Amino acid sequence: MNETQRSGIIRRFDDLGRIVVPREIRKLLQLHEGDAMEVSVAGNSIRLDRHQPLRFWEALCGPCLTAFCRNFQLACAICDTEHVLASRVTTIPKGSMLSQTVKDHIRALEPYFYSPGSQIPLLEDGSHMIDTLFPAGTKGQPIGAVVLPHYRTVTEEERICARLLADILTETIIQEEKNI
Which residues, 6 or more positions from 14, have their beta carbon under 8 angstroms from its beta carbon?
none
Choosing from 13, 33, 51, the residue where a domain stops is: 51
**Does 47 share its domain with 58?**
no
- Is 70 found in the same domain as 22? no
pLDDT at 145: 94
Strand partners, 180: none
Residues in Cβ contact with 21 at an 8 Å cutoff, skipping those fewer than 6 apart: 11, 31, 48
Question: Do 164 and 83 lie in a common domain?
Answer: yes
Task: Judge residue 85's burial from the number of C-beta atoms within 10 Å of its C-beta, 0-12 exposed, 13-18 middle, 19 or more buried.
Answer: buried
Amino acid identity, residue 135?
A: P
Whether residue 156 is found in the same domain as residue 128: yes
* In a shared domain, residues 107 and 29: no
Residues 146 and 166 sit within 8 Å (Cβ to Cβ):
yes
SS3 call for 102: helix
pLDDT in tens, 42-93: 888 888 877 666 555 666 677 777 787 788 888 899 998 888 988 887 788 8
Predicted model pTM = 0.70
Q: In CATH, what number is assigned to the domain containing residue 105? A: 3.30.450.40
Q: Are residues 26 and 69 in the same domain?
A: no
Are 47 and 62 within one domain? no
Same domain assignment for residues 91 and 166: yes
Is residue 38 domain-shared with residue 105, that is, in the same domain?
no
Same domain, 67 and 33: no
Q: Which DSSP symbol is given to 123?
A: B
Q: What pLDDT sits at residue 134? A: 97
Which one-letter DSSP state was computed for residue 126?
Answer: S
Q: Tell me, what CATH number does 43's domain have?
A: 2.10.260.10
pLDDT per residue as tens digits for the range 105-156: 999 999 999 988 889 999 999 999 999 999 998 887 888 999 999 988 899 9
Domain count across the chain? 2
Q: Judge whether 52 and 81 are in contact, CB under 8 Å.
A: yes
Domain span at 72: 54-179
